[in-house]
Amino acid sequence: MAYLGPRLGVSRIFVPRVIVFRLLGTVGMEDMGLALGRSALERLDFENVVLKKLPLDPSEEAGVRLVKGACFSRVKPEPLNNPRFVAVSRDALALLGLDGDEIMNDPLGPEYLSGSKVMPGSEPAAHCYCGHQFGQFAGQLGDGAACYLGEVKVPPGQNPKFLRENPSGRWEIQVKGAGQTPYSRKADGRKVLRSSIREFLCSEAMFFLGIPTTRAGSVVTSDSKVLRDVHYSGNPSYERCSVVLRIAPTFLRFGSFEIFKPADEFTGRQGPSYGREEIRGQMLDYVIETFYPEIQQNYPDRVERNVAFFREVMCRTAQLVAQWQCVGFCHGVLNTDNMSVLGLTLDYGPYGFMDRFDPDFICNASDNSGRYSYKAQPAICRWNLVKLAEALAPELPTDRAKAVIDEYLDQFNRSYLENMRKKLGLLRKEEPEDEILITELLRTMHDTGADFTNTFRSLSQISCPERETEQDKEIVKKATELFLAQCASLEELKSANTPTMDPRELAMLLSMAQSNPTLFEMISDRATIARQLDRMSKLKVLMETSQEELRARQAQEWTSWITLYRKRLACELEGQSDVQVLQEERVRVMNSTNPRVVLRNYIAQNAIEAAENGDFSEVQRVLKVLEKPFSSQPGLELPAWVGSHGSTAQGERDEREEQEQRASASSTAIDPVPYDSKPPAWARQICVT
């Protein structure tokens, strides 16, 4: 239909009326046929505003380089050999007005959504940003593997909820793993199947949990291979290049504003656009005008506008990390370059959902100091906000920024308590002792090694006591048994509390901390040593404890907390005429707040191993389960191969890899458990870096 107008214009001038109608019919049908015959991806309506609003690198030189005075560089995605879909998220693709089934069956789909072929209207580019990594300013980083494809206009009929969350009217789409960019440093810009599946599944899992996040539309794999040393053992092997399609209003981040940073006092590095203050102003204007239009409209004074923007980013960040804490999610790499200016969960690398509750939980095996542990996340996000404030100065006055940051802890605590009250079913009243009740619950979970997700899910089975009865003891006993089923065994606790540091190394470091504190601080830190000593102390106690003694102690702890909880629940009934209605409301709210299923590492690992052996059905099955994390889904309780006598389901097998699959024994056949179960023993061996 694109050429209909111009052709008809000429026809009206030069030909008789009767021929005009014949041409109208002929040309219209031809063009309509062309339009219908084209891939839906070739009909996407791109409007790449950010490349017009922010400076673009004038150089198109290939290879890694320092990029000064620009926010984006044009790039050429590197084609994959024989790209093919692993899975698509129909829900995420619908944001772009695309039908997931149509895209899955589109022969051009894998090429376009891997960057192997460039869609009409797409303008591939890579974003320049900096970042503080593990507390140190790293200088220029940028999209080393991600590639901006463009901004797709929101299709007609989009859910108004998404339009409120994305007032720009466009969705930015990226492919991650499409090859080298100027920001790839020493890497090849490629991603492999395991990391791509993890990002794809977790992006969608977080969305369906109700947590702000970037989205993932598809995973594509290929016959192209790269060399990777999975365990950093010196034994690399070839893995398949794979690409994730990512979707968000924008992928701009705290680190986007750090490209103007002067030389860092510790590392000596500076941002590549240091001194280009006008670009900072441009970027700030673009972000606020595009994604915070109400702030732009309500604050004509520039300074007040910038303060209001920073306060909104602070609030969104505090609310986001509160939601993470309430589902046991650990990001793993909370550098400033992984923090979204929209308060979205961004960049899924070595993340993890906690199994056994442990406030010191570290999901990233590379995080030796525990900087990004579960309990550290709220404080780290505040630290990152301080770095964002520094990057926005002088557009954001320092004293005004400090006042906003001082509000962070209160905002986090409010959000956290609001979420936790829902998780505990405390809906009618807000009592001062609620914080103590929550703290005691977490302490009991930690002491007994209780499973985080399943313990919270089980809470809805404890009803409000209407009055004291002779059956109270029996009710508490049954509730205790319910929670004991989620507690760790003696062997599990011994394994969890075994020090990771050699005793001789620990003794040397303890001695050094006394004799040479300066050298000690260079090679270790007191928090790491304290964790090792705590483990040793707990292990000593456990070695002198029997399974029966442990179980009795766990039962006693849970009985005490359940008694406290039921006393608080009784307060909920005060002044309530219809107890049954309150009970039903509690169960409904709790079961829509406490997920039945989260993306545990072992679930992702099962899907990865099946896909690496040529069977993509488990990735697709896990996605279906994660799309309804609060519900039981008949027929989707177990992995696909269970019930097939240990064999893997054939539905989505990649025929090219059947021989490879038969030759490889997958651990997924070992100890299959339901998706909502505590992890199997082998899951403790999973290491994510």
Residue carrying the six token digits 């056949």:
669
Nearest alpha carbon to residue 126 among 197, 80, 62, 204: 62
**Contact residues for 474 (Cβ-Cβ < 8 A; gap 6+):** none
Nearest alpha carbon to residue 114 among 143, 83, 151: 83
Handedness of CA 400, 375, 351, 185 (dihedral sign): positive
Contact between residue 171 and residue 95 where contact means Cβ atoms under 8 Å apart: yes
Residue type, 284: L
Determine the Cα–Cα distance for residues 465 and 472; give it in Å rounded to an integer. Answer: 8
Concatenate the DSSP letters of all residues of 38-104 into one string: S-GGGG--B---HHHHS-B-S----S-----S-SEEE--PPPPSS-EEEEE-HHHHGGGT--HHHHH
Indicate if 337 belongs to the active site. yes
Instruction: Please provide residue 96's backbone torsions phi and psi, each rounded to the nearest 5 degrees.
Output: -95, 5
Contact between residue 167 and residue 293 where contact means Cβ atoms under 8 Å apart: yes
Contact between residue 448 and residue 557 where contact means Cβ atoms under 8 Å apart: yes
Contact between residue 422 and residue 590 where contact means Cβ atoms under 8 Å apart: yes
Contact between residue 396 and residue 310 where contact means Cβ atoms under 8 Å apart: yes
Contact between residue 641 and residue 671 where contact means Cβ atoms under 8 Å apart: no
Regarding beta strands 84-88 and 215-228, do their DSSP bridges make them parallel or antiparallel, or are they unpaired? Answer: antiparallel
**3-state SS, residue 596:** coil
Which residue among the candidates 57, 106, 337, 676 is catalytic per the annotation?
337
Catalytic residues: 337
